[in-house]
Structure formats: C-alpha cells, structure tokens
Structure 1
Amino acid sequence: MSEQHDDDTSTGREPRPADSVAGVSTTPRAFESVTVKLGHAFGERIDRAVRSRHRRRLRHVGWQRALDASGLGFAHGTYPARPGNALDVLVDGSEMLPAVAEALSRAESYVHIAGWFFSPELQLSRDDEPVVLRNLLAELAERIDVRVLSWKGAPLPLFKPSRLEVREMLDALARHTEIQAEVDACTGFMHCHHEKAIVIDGRVAFVGGIDLTVDGGDPYDTPTHLARGGIGWHDAAVRIEGPSVADVDHHFRLRWHAVTRESLSRPEMPDPVGDVEAQVVRTVPAGTYRAVRRGDYSILESYSGALRSAERFIYKRKARFCEVIWGTERR
C-alpha cells in the first residue's frame, strides 16, 4: 500500500469557515456593512424626527427650556425648591413597605395614595401576622378620609393592566369599606399614570418607583436579592418630611379634583424639620389638567441639566429608558 501525504488525508468535510452552517450561505461582508449603515441612517432620521416633534411641542407651550437646561440648579417648574426638609432614601421594598405601614398606622386626619396599579392583598410587612394593604386602609377609613387614585388601565386588553382588571381591583379594594377609590382617566390614549405617591396627614410623603402591587413581581425585595421562588422587584423610594410634602399633596389634590370634581382645600405648609433643600418635580403633559394647561416638564428639565453638567461619567440605571429624548445632544 502506498503511503499518502497528510495533506491528502480526507476527513469527509467540506473546507469552509468554522462558524458556517451547512446549507446556509454567508452574507457578503460588503452587503452587511451597507445594511448596517442604512439601518443607522434610518434610525438617526427617526431620532431627529422625534426630537424635532418634542421640541416643537415644548416650544408651543413655553417649555423648550426643559430640553436646553445645562446646569445643576433647580428646575423652573410649578413647585419651587423648599428648604427645611428631611429625606430618607429607601432601597427596595423591604425598607420602603414597612416604613409605609408604620406611617399609615399613625395617620390621624387623611391618607392620599396614587399609583399605577394596586394589589389589595399586598403584605406590607412579612411578620408572623403581616400587615395587609386592604385591611390597613379599611381600618383607617373607618375614622379618617382614605383616597386612592389609580390609572385607568390600558385601552387594549393586549396590555396589562386592562381597564377591566383595574375596575375589578378597585372594587376588591374598596368594597364594603369606606375607602374612596377612583380611576384617573386624564391621560392620552397611549399614555399611563405611572406616579407612585403616598401622603399622610400632610406631614410625611413617599415618592419613588415602588408600586403597591405584586403585578410584575413582589415589591418586598431586599438588597441581597435572595432566591425565593418568585420574581422580585428592585427599586427605591424617598420618604419626605417638611415643606415639600405640601407639593406632593397639592399634586394629588389636583388630580383628585380633575377626576371627582371634589375640591379639596390647599394643603397646609408643614414646619421645617430638617436641613435639606428639595424640589418636587413632575411630568404633566400640556392640556391634561385644566389647572396646569401648559403642563409641567420639570423632570425633563432636571434630567437635561444634570446630564449636561456631567464631567467624568454618567451612570443611569432604570427599568425603562427612552434614549431619543437626549439623542445626539448627550454629553
């Protein structure tokens, strides 16, 4: 038998790149490069169109400064910066929810709660006898005003929560109790109210990203995020005491009046309790509420100023982030 050279040894394989797949042709790199460039160009055109539309709309209502802000100063919103506040940042529901339960238990005159969606069965504490949201609010409503304001729900059942689910949830929350529960429908067709705010007696407020619902995950998460057989929800909130509480309360009362036509008196200004100067900022689209016809885009103004003031780096962590707001104007 004659010897064959190693180069002639057959492996039964066709010579082709290691990352190729049999029966599938590879895309020419030149064509791939062209499609990528076209995609980028198309995306940039969409970005410019969206930014131009936002700028025109903001200019029309006198809020173009919200996109042009460039400093770390306070926003020129409806509510001014107020000194004399005490703020506590509460990371995760394991800190926020028990603090809410404790503050609610000491309510003496009224409770105002606004949220995206609620779970009446939510446990605010995880003790041997947990504090359940509906039970606590029902007990309070026997002696003080308890007002709860929820978003109306998605216009199409394809999205959650649907309007039917919201109605059923509010009925489960308020049925056979004195809780006043209403739906805020003062939004655009494709918009939602994602505000989370709690005001107790006009002396303490909670604002932030933690909903009082288990929809999407259990908000009673911990910084260690231990495995527990279910989905958690990592987020944060701020506990406020002092003059800025009045602004959170005023915003709730504005929304409540728009929905119910019940005129609540303007909240009293709390006495200073700390040394923090704070400002309540918000997003109110123009034309949503009669009392704020030109809207309030002070959150956007605060973001714009903070981003343009960055000197070394920007760290942004958020469950949902729309990049087109900043576009090519990012620094």
Structure 2
Amino acid sequence: MAPNEPDSLEAPAALCWRRENATRAGLIVDANAYFEAGRAAMLKARRRIMLIGWDFDARIELTDKRLPGEPRTLGEFVLWLVARNPELEVFLLRWNIGALRTLFRGTTIITLARWMAHKRIHTRLDSASTVGASHHHKIVVIDDCVAFCGGIDMTSNRWDTPAHRDGDPRRVAPDGSSYAPWHDATSILEGPVAAALGELGRQRWQAAGGKALAPVSGGGDCWPEGVDAQFRDISVAICRSRPAVGREAPIREIEATYLALIAGARRHVYAESQYFASRRIAEAVALRLDEPEGPEIAVVNPVTSHGWLEPIAMDTARARLYVALRRLDRYGRFRIFHPHTKQGEPIYVHAKTTIVDDQVLHVGSSNMNNRSLRLDTECDVTIDSRQPGNEGASPQIRALRDSLLAEHLGVEPGAVAAAIDDKGSLIAAIEALRSAGRSLRPYEVPDLLDVEKWLADHQVLDPDGPEEIFEATTGGRLLKRLNRLRRRLRGRGARASKK
C-alpha cells in the first residue's frame, strides 16, 4: 500500500468542486461517436444549449445521418434548431484567442455574424481572465439534464473512428485537405451532475461578461438515442483548474486529483494525455517508482505535438522528464507508448483519460502539463468505484481500459483482459500484444538541440502558473525539483544498503 494513500477522492480535501449523482453516464471514444451523440442530444433540447469550448468550427459536419431539411454543417444546424423551436436559446462561449482562427475560415465568419444577429443565439469570448492563459473547457450542456465533458472540441480535424483507418476518405477538413488519424475521448453525464456542469457553464458565461442565467427547470429526457450508458446511478466528482483571478484564490483541484490518483494507485496507472510535461506529476511518479511494490505507470502520448512551437516545448520537456524518470525506474515500471495505424502512421492522441486499478476513471480537458494544472481553465470528471454507492463500477471501468488498449493495440478487448490476467502486469501485457502495424510503439528519446533544452528548462511555453509568464529567463525550473528528488532517493537507497 502506498504511503499516505487516500481512502477515496475526498481525502485530502479540495480534490473536487462538486460531487453529484449521475442517473446515467458513459465514456465516448473518438469524435465520430461524440459528434453523433452531441447532435442527437441537441435535437432533444427544449430550452437551452450551452456550447463551451476552446474552439468551434461552424463548417464541420456532425453526421451524415440527417433528418429531412436538416442542414449539413454545425453552423447551419444551430440556426435550424432555433428556427424549429421558438423556446430554444443557444449560448456559445469560446476562447478569445482561438476565435481569431475564425477570420481565416472563409464562410465561418459569415455564419458567426448570423449567429450574433439572432436574438436567441448568444455568443461570448472568454479571455480566461489571466494573460497567457486559455479557456480550455470542452463542455456541452443540454437543458441542464445531459452534459458532455472531456477532451473533444467541436471543430475541424477532430473527426475519426476507433478504427483509425489509413487514408479514411471521411477524415477531411472543411477546406478539403486530409489530416492524420486522431484519438480523443469525452464523457456523457445525465442528471444532477449535468445540472452542476450547467451551473459551471453559467458561471463562466457571466465571468466572460454575459448576463446571469437561471438554471433550466423541468427538463425532459435529453439522453441521445443510440448511446449506451456504461454506468447508472453513480456518484461523479467535478474538478477544475483556474489561475488566481483578482482576490480569488487559484483553483487546483485537477492537479490535486492527479497527484492523489498516482499516490493511491496499488497496481497500475493507465493514462492517455496529449502531453507529459508536468513536473509535479513527474515527481509523484518518481516517488512511486522508488517503491519496491509500487504501481506500474503506462502513458499513451502522440509521437510529437502539433504546431511548430509546441513540439519544442512539450516534446523536449517530455524527453527530459522521461530520461530522469527512467534513471529512477530501477524496477522497470514506467513506459510511454505511441499508437500507430496499420500502415505505421502515428495516431495523434488528444484524449485526456486516466484509469487507475480498475477502480477510477478520470476524463476531462486537462493535459499532464503545467499549463493545464496551474494556468488554463479546465474541467474534468471522475468516477471512483471506492465511493459509497459506486461499488459496482469497477468491472465497467476495467472494460473501458481494456477497450482503449485494444483500440491502440489492434486486438480485441478480451485479448487485453486475458493478457493482463496472465502476465499479472499491465506493461508486460502491452509488450506481449504489441506487433508491427496497428499497435503501440515505445517512446524513443530524441536528440535535443541546445535551444530546445533552454526552452524546456526555462518553461517558456509551458509556464508553471501566471506568475511565471514573464519570468522565463530567471533560471531553469523544469528539472530542478526532480533532480533534487532524484538525489534524495539515491541517498535513501544508499542508507538502506548500509543497514
């Protein structure tokens, strides 16, 4: 058992904002399923739709299954919904810097103008309140009765299926260009927990300058047709991150939750994250790797980050932390893997999902990097089978973990379950099931240029909080604490060997 292991996600305090019941809940994997579920839920909306996100692209198609007269694109679909229901209002909140992309999206700016001209479609831009921060939520709330919370934005270059087919002709951006395979995930939640996410959405709306909104009462059945619920009548925790705003203290519930999950893991931590660059998470991992009976930790990342600046910052930080952790990993319990298609093309991992010991499912918008935990505004949800009333959730959580690994390994979920049982090890099971083509491949440390090392050490693009936005040249921070921890652990090992 790990030292100071929490009995549940309620200990220590401040691990969540709210804990509410979900009458139904589930994990939706990849944007094809999410776009179809989101469309189906919006078709059931009677009073209010809240779309809260880092980015939206009005040009995307949610599905090729349309009702008579239903428009093809998201932008026209929203206009069509309010036209057919005179009581429906739509509130769209997006990050203000991300909104600048709209200027380069052709007809999107025309659609946005039509939205803004409509008296029942309301749009606001969220500045995230702090210089350098981003509004990173990915939340949709329907009539306060159903909500989606996770990592998928309703924007371009996100659509894909769990098959991640090479050259899939449907994986095409609105401008006609093709893009790489994309893996993502979100949660769907019904009941009081959805109402709580609606409250969070209204708070963010008002903070961005919108008028105060009342909750939606008397909501009907908004659960989308065709979507299976893996969980019923279950307690769900909502956790957030947000920098200090004015006199309001920073919110670091997500960071506390990640650290508690790692500290409390008995057997294994399986994580999918766009980045692995948080020094605090690395320290928590290092402490567990030093234990003779500590858990295995397997992280699924993309081969490289998107853009031209992010790879320098995020990928370099990952390389430095990985090398430091592997030096501490004397029991061989830490791995990073990348998924690839059948023909060997890297699949981009945008999901933010963590599963611990078949007991805890954590999914949301936050990545394992400094920005998500201390600078950006994020929202995650957690289902913990150790919570009273949640005792029956463990088999479903394990099944989801097996399904995610099966998707990446190109095998059936039953094969994953059997391999883990047979090997008694998550990492050994992955290694046994890995193959050429559609599978997971181990991370390889790249050669780092001097400029990349400097950017990583000084956290220029991944600051540890708003106070460090303008302090990038005051000395390296990224590995200082981890290096001190490594020296402390070495000293502990040396003292133990003398006894």
Question: TM-score of the superposition, structure 1-length normalised?
Answer: 0.68
- The alignment status of 1:152 with 2:99, answered yes or no, reads no
**Between the two proteins, what is the percent identity of the paired residues?**
25
Q: Which residue of 2 aligns with 1:137?
A: 78
Letter in 2 for 1:286: A
Letter in 1 for 2:263: R
Superimposed CA distance per residue, residues 228-276 of structure 1 (whole angstroms, 9 cap, x where no aligned partner): 2532321011111011011111111111111224111245597999411
1:199–1:249 CA contact under 8 A, matched in 2: yes
**Residues in 1 aligned to 2:71 and 2:32: alpha-carbon distance in whole angstroms:** 13
- The alignment status of 1:118 with 2:56, answered yes or no, reads yes
Q: Which has the higher strand share?
A: 2
Q: Which residue of 2 aligns with 1:310?
A: 265
2:147–2:190 CA contact under 8 A, matched in 1: yes
Choose 1 or 2 for highest CA Rg.
Answer: 1
**Residues in 2 aligned to 1:270 and 1:322: alpha-carbon distance in whole angstroms:** 41
Q: 1:259 to 1:69 in 2, by over 3 A?
A: farther
1:82–1:277 CA contact under 8 A, matched in 2: yes
Q: Which residue of 1 aligns with 2:238?
A: 280
1:82–1:244 CA contact under 8 A, matched in 2: yes
1:111–1:145 CA contact under 8 A, matched in 2: yes
1:242–1:270 CA contact under 8 A, matched in 2: no
Superimposed CA distance per residue, residues 127-152 of structure 1 (whole angstroms, 9 cap, x where no aligned partner): 48874211111122332110100101
Q: 1:304 to 1:69 in 2, by over 3 A?
A: farther
1:36-185 alignment to 2 at 5 Å? 70-74=6-10, 76=14, 79-127=17-65, 131-142=72-83, 143=86, 144-153=88-97, 161=98, 164-166=100-102, 171-177=109-115, 178=118, 179-185=121-127
Question: TM-score of the superposition, structure 2-length normalised?
Answer: 0.46
Q: 1:172 to 1:281 in 2, by over 3 A?
A: farther
Superimposed CA distance per residue, residues 197-216 of structure 1 (whole angstroms, 9 cap, x where no aligned partner): 000111100111111111xx
Q: 1:183 to 1:84 in 2, by over 3 A?
A: closer
CA RMSD of aligned residues (A): 2.8
Q: 1:69 to 1:115 in 2, by over 3 A?
A: farther
- The alignment status of 1:320 with 2:275, answered yes or no, reads yes
Q: 1:117 to 1:84 in 2, by over 3 A?
A: closer
Q: Secondary structure at the match of 1:89?
A: strand
Q: Which has the higher contact order (CA 8 A, sep 6+)?
A: 1
**Residues in 2 aligned to 1:195 and 1:182: alpha-carbon distance in whole angstroms:** 14
Letter in 2 for 1:311: R
**Residues in 2 aligned to 1:152 and 1:294: alpha-carbon distance in whole angstroms:** 23
Q: 1:168 to 1:257 in 2, by over 3 A?
A: farther
One of 128, 132, 142 as aligned partner of 1:200: 142
**Residues in 1 aligned to 2:52 and 2:207: alpha-carbon distance in whole angstroms:** 14
Aligned residues: 250
Q: CA deviation at 1:77?
A: 5.3
Q: Which residue of 2 aligns with 1:248?
A: 197
Q: CA deviation at 1:73?
A: 2.0
Unaligned stretches of 5+ residues in structure 1: 1-67, 154-160
1:70–1:304 CA contact under 8 A, matched in 2: no
Q: Secondary structure at the match of 2:25?
A: strand
